[in-house]
Structure 1
Amino acid sequence: MKNSKILAISLMAILVVGSSCKKDDVDNTPPAIVLGEPANEDSLTIGEEVHFECDFSDDVELKSYKVDIHFNDGHTHNKSAETFGEEGHPWTLEQSWDFEAGLKNSHIHHHEIVVPDSVVGELGVLEPVLCGEYHFGVYCTDVAGNESHVYIDVIL
C-alpha cells in the first residue's frame, strides 16, 4: 500500500514536471524582417524587374514570406496619395514563397517581381498601370504561425 502511494506521487510529480517543460517550448516570438531593397521612396520602373533583397530570421524556424504591393490611396497616411498622371489603373501584387525546412535565417535576393506595363481595368480591358505612390509590404510567418510585416513607400 505504501509503495503504491509512493508510485502514484512519483507519477504525478513526473507529469507536472513534464507538462511544465512543454509550456516553455511555445514559440510566441514573431520573425524579424530587414528589407534591404527596394528602399523607402525608391522608384520602380514600369515594365521592369524589381530588385528584392531581404533578410529574415526567427528564433525557431521560418515558414514563408509574402510581398504585397498596392496603390497608396491614403488609407494609412495622413497625406493624400500623389498620382503622376491621370490615366491608368492601380496595380496590385500579392505573392508568397516558402522557406526551406529548418531555416532560422535566410537572405533572399531575387528579381522575380516584375512591374507590368498594363493591367485589366474595371471595364475588363487592358489599361496602363497607374503611376504614383505605392505601398511595398513584406510579411514573414514562422512555423508557429507568428507573423510580422514591414511596409515602405515606393514610386512607380
Structure 2
Amino acid sequence: MTSLIYRVLDERVIHGLADNLAIEDERGTMSYAELLHESASVAGAFTSVGIVPGAGVQIDLDHGRELVVAVLACARVGAVPRDSVEFRVAGMPPVLHLPDTEVPWDLLIHAGRTDPAPAPPDDPEGYEALIRGAYPDIFAALEAGEEISTSG
C-alpha cells in the first residue's frame, strides 16, 4: 500500500486540493500545497542531519503550524515520534536539538528547500498505525481534506 503521507497529503495536492485551506491561525493561512512544500522541506533538512527511517524524534511543540509541519516531516522520512535523546524539536520558535548542535526552524525550512524529501513509496510494517495513533487529529483532517485545527 502507498505510504500514509503520500495518500493524505501529496495525493490531495495532486488531485485538486492544492489551493484549499490546510491551516489558519493568528499568523495567517497555509494551503495544502504550502503545507506539502514546507513539510517536505523540513523533511529534507531532517535527512541531511541524519534523521532516517525508524529514528526517534521527540516533538515538544504546542498545537500550531510548526507541530503539524514537524509531524508531517517525520512521516515523510519515516521517523518515529517518541522520547529521544538524539533528536528533539522544541521551543517557540522551534529548534531541532541534535547531539552536537542546534538548528533553528527557519534554517531547517530554508536548507531543506534545496533538497525536499519525497514521500516514501510505502511505510514499514506498523508505521501507519503508530503515527496515526500519536497524531490522530492531524491525519484525520488531512484524510478528509479538511482544515487542520491548530488550537490546543
TM-score, normalised by the number of residues in structure 2: 0.21
Greater share of residues in helix: 2
Greater share of residues in strand: 1
- Greater Cα radius of gyration, structure 1 or 2: 1
